[in-house]
């Protein structure tokens, strides 16, 4: 009996010992990937490059939305009310935004996420099994994404910390203005030189994308000559053209057209690559064309003065809703109350409630044409070439061409700015062209806003200042 007892006990103990003698504290990973298995071939590297693209295309709906609002609300291009978003809009409109504002909290980390992924890709292209063709193309795409991300950051915040490798220290001080510019130009130029003219995957960077971004970058940094020549390079390439009508540019059936040099592709089913500007445009009682469309509580509105500014026959005015009827036929008046609706982006027939898949343009060919005209005008005053470029855009809008003789350098500059206001309504570009012509703050002050020169840049997010002792906030915040 005694032995029997011991045997039972020992056998259970042995069972227990056997179970625990494997290396018990090794942490085995099942649902995530380790660098040693992921980053050794094209397929693995591409998945990270795709993540970089996801951020470069604005990682989610709110990034896109805040990018547009940052460009249009402080510059007085539109206004809005309703919803919990209203108080955040008010801060933009009134120049009372601070370092905790949604614009800065959303955009700063998004762009740096793209930079992180681009750096991971660039850090891991040394594997000998990768073809040089692949390495060259992938390097160009990653540098494009990094350059584009830094362009955006520079535009919003001025010089920022430069991270060019995943191995960089996490805590870095701001770069100098010269370092910042060098980084942007180098990345985008390198990308331009190696990227293909076209891609069969719409949304990937092409040579034209890099050229388009460089054009806009030169323009915004008032490097007029470089801007003019880069724009003309694009025009002369013949790779891009205006769509025949203004509404074709944004129509669903026409997505992927060749007016887009750099465009953010969206899809209502993607979960994050979404557009929701319609949900902040159409009122709840507006009869929506598809039962699957939905809207939110807040509205963006255009001022009556803006509606009035259009020249007769301008087709671009047609996307603005001035009055409409509810489903039961009750007429609703928007114009007259500064509440016209910027209905530029049509409802997505495949929308999942507010989740729409409209692609969003960043650089389109009409912008290249107007950029060429603007740069030429700044370099050498009004020229026929400049006016011709503008007239291409006006012709598509079905309005009369400009005549060179009617313009001085100054008045053509104003005409281009006005043309941009019409052409790029609700695309978030107003701040840029007002800034580069020193109108951003003065316009705001003349509207009665308490804007100062410090407001040309947005504040760096407070959480970033808190986490980085080397980082100095922009003045005035």
Partner 1 sequence: MKLRRLLSNNWQFNLTKGARILKISVLLSIIMTFSTFANSVVYSQVEISIDVENTEITSILDFIESTTALRFFYDNDIYDFKQKRTLSLKKVKIEEAISLIFEDNLDFKLSENIVILKKAIKSTPVKNNEINTDKDQDELQKTISGSITDKDGNPLPGATVIEKGTSNGITSDFDGNYELKISNPNATIVVSYIGFDDVEVDVEGQQNINISLVETTESLDEIVVTGYGTVKKSDATGAISSLKADDINVGAIVSVDQMMQGRAAGVQISQSSSEPGGGLSIRIRGASSVNASNEPLYVIDGFPIDNSPTLSGSGGIEVGIGGDSTANIATNRSPRNPLNSINPNDIERIEILKDASATAIYGSRGANGVVLITTKRGDEGKLNVNYNTYVGTSQIVNAVDVMSTNQYMDFMDDILPQEGDAAPFTNAATRSAIGAGTDWQNQIYRTAMITDHNLSVSGGMGKSRVYASLNYFEQEGIVKNTGIKKYIGRINLDTEISEKINIGFNLNSSLIEDSNGRDGLSTNESAGPIYGSLLYDPTEPVYNADGTFARSPNLTTNNPMSTLMGVFNSSETNRAMANFYINYKPIDGLIAKINLGSDRSNMRRDVYNSRATILGGPVGGIADISTLSRSSYLGEFTLDYTKDFNEDHTINALSGITYQKFKNRIFMGNIQNMPTDALQTNALQLGDTNYDNLSSLKEENTLLSYLARVNYTFRDKILFTASIRADGSSRFGSDEKYGYFPSFALGYKLTDEAFIPDVFNELKIRTSWGQTGNQEIGNYASQLTFGAGNNAVLGGSIVGTVRPARLANTALKWETTTQLNIGIDYAILNNRITGTIDYFKKNTTDMLFNLPLPAASGYSSILSNIGEVENSGIEFLINSGNITTPDFTWSTSFNLTSIKNEVKDLGGIGQVMTGNVQAVGNTSIIKVGHPIGSYFGYEVDGIQQSGDTNPGYPNFVDQTGEGDITPADAKIIGNPAPDLIYGINNTFQYKNFGLSFFIQAVQGADLLNINIIESMYPANRRRNRLADIALDRWTPSNTGAKWPSGANSNRYDGDKVNTLTLQDASFIRLKNVQFSYNVPVNDSNLFNSLRIYVSGQNLFTITDYIGFDPEANSFGQSNVRVDYSSFPLASTVMIGLNAQF
Interacting residues with partner 1 between 371 and 390 (CB under 8 A): none
Bridge partner list, 324: 332
Q: Do the beta carbons of residue 334 and residue 304 sit within 8 Å? A: no
Q: CB–CB of 215/227 below 8 Å?
A: yes
Output 14 or 395, the one with its CB closest to partner 1.
14
Contact by Cβ (8 Å): 56, 204: no
DSSP 202: B
Q: Out of 247, 285, 322, 414, name the contact with partner 1 by CB under 8 A.
A: 285
Based on the shown chain and the rule CB under 8 A, indicate whether residue 298 belongs to the binding site for partner 1.
yes
Q: Which of 74, 76, 147, 265 binds partner 1 (CB under 8 A)?
A: 265
Binding mask 121-150 for partner 1 (x = CB under 8 A): ------------------------------
Q: Could you tell me whether strands 299-301 and 360-364 are parallel, antiparallel, or unpaired per DSSP bridges?
A: unpaired
- Binder to partner 1 among 66, 69, 112, 246 (CB under 8 A)? 112
Of 380-439, binders to partner 1 (CB under 8 A) are none
Residues 346-365 that bind partner 1 (CB under 8 A): 351-355, 357
**For residue 289, what are its two tokens?**
């064309």
Q: How far is the CB of 33 from partner 1 (least distance, A)?
A: 4
Dihedral (C-alpha) 80, 356, 308, 333: value to the nearest 10 degrees?
-70
DSSP, res 175: P
Q: Is 238 in the site for partner 1 (CB under 8 A)?
A: no
Tokens for 57, please give them: 């295309």
3-state secondary structure of 325: strand
Complex with partner 1: residue 17 or 400, whichever CB lies closer: 17
Binders of partner 1 among residues 2 to 61 (CB under 8 A) are 2, 5-6, 8-9, 12-13, 16, 19-20, 24-35, 38, 44, 47-48, 50-51, 53-55, 57, 59-60
Residue among 358 and 371 whose Cβ is closer to partner 1: 358
DSSP code of residue 412: H
Decide if residue 202 touches partner 1 (CB under 8 A): yes
As measured in angstroms, the least distance from the Cβ of 129 to partner 1 is 19
Choose among 418, 437, 321: nearest CA to 378.
Answer: 437
Q: Which residues within the stretch 159-178 sit at the binding site for partner 1 (CB under 8 A)? A: 160-161, 163, 166, 168, 170-172
476 contacts 452 by C-beta, under 8 angstroms: yes
Q: Is 301 in the site for partner 1 (CB under 8 A)?
A: no
- The count of chain residues that interact with partner 1, using the rule CB under 8 A, is 105
- The Cβ of residue 112 has, within 10 Å, a number of other Cβ atoms equal to 18
């Amino acid at each position: 009996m005694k032995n029997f007892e011991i045997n039972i006990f020992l056998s259970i103990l042995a069972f227990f010992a056997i179970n625990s003698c494997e290396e018990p504290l090794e942490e085995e990973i099942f649902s995530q990937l380790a660098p040693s298995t992921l980053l050794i071939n094209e397929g693995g590297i591409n998945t990270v490059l795709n993540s970089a693209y996801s951020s470069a295309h604005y990682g989610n709906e709110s990034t896109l939305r805040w990018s547009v609002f940052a460009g249009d609300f402080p510059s007085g291009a539109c206004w809005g009310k309703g919803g919990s978003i209203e108080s955040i809009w008010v801060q933009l409109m009134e120049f009372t935004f601070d370092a905790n504002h949604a614009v800065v909290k959303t955009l700063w980390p998004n762009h740096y996420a793209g930079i992180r992924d681009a750096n991971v890709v660039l850090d891991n292209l040394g594997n000998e099994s990768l073809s040089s063709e692949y390495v060259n193309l992938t390097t160009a795409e990653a540098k494009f994404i990094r350059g584009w991300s830094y362009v955006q950051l520079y535009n919003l915040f001025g010089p920022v910390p430069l991270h060019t490798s995943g191995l960089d220290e996490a805590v870095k001080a701001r770069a100098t203005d010269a370092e910042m510019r060098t980084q942007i130009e180098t990345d985008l130029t390198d990308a331009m030189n190696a990227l293909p003219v076209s891609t069969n995957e719409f949304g990937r960077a092409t040579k034209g994308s890099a050229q388009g971004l460089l054009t806009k970058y030169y323009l915004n940094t008032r490097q007029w000559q470089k801007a003019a020549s880069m724009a003309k390079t694009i025009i002369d390439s013949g790779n891009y053209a205006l769509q025949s009508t203004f509404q074709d540019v944004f129509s669903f059936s026409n997505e992927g057209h060749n007016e887009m040099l750099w465009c953010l592709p969206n899809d209502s089913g993607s979960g994050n690559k979404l557009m929701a500007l319609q949900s902040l445009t159409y009122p709840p009682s507006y009869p929506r064309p598809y039962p699957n469309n939905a809207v939110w509580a807040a509205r963006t509105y255009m001022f009556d003065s803006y509606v009035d500014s259009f020249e007769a026959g301008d087709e671009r005015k047609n996307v603005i809703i001035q009055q409409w009827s509810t489903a039961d036929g009750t007429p609703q008046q928007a114009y007259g109350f500064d509440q016209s609706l910027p209905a530029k982006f049509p409802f997505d027939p495949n929308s999942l409630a507010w989740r729409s898949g409209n692609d969003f343009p960043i650089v389109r060919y009409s912008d290249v044409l107007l950029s060429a005209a603007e740069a030429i005008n700044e370099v050498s005053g009004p020229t026929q070439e400049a006016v011709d470029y503008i007239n291409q855009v006006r012709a598509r809008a079905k309005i009369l061409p400009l005549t060179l003789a009617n313009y001085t350098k100054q008045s053509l500059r104003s005409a281009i700015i006005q043309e941009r206001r019409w052409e790029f309504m609700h695309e978030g570009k107003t701040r840029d062209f007002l800034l580069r012509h020193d109108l951003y703050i003065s316009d705001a002050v003349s509207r009665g806003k308490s804007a100062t020169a410090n407001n040309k840049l947005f504040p760096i997010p407070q959480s970033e200042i808190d986490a980085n002792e080397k980082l100095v906030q922009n003045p005035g915040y």
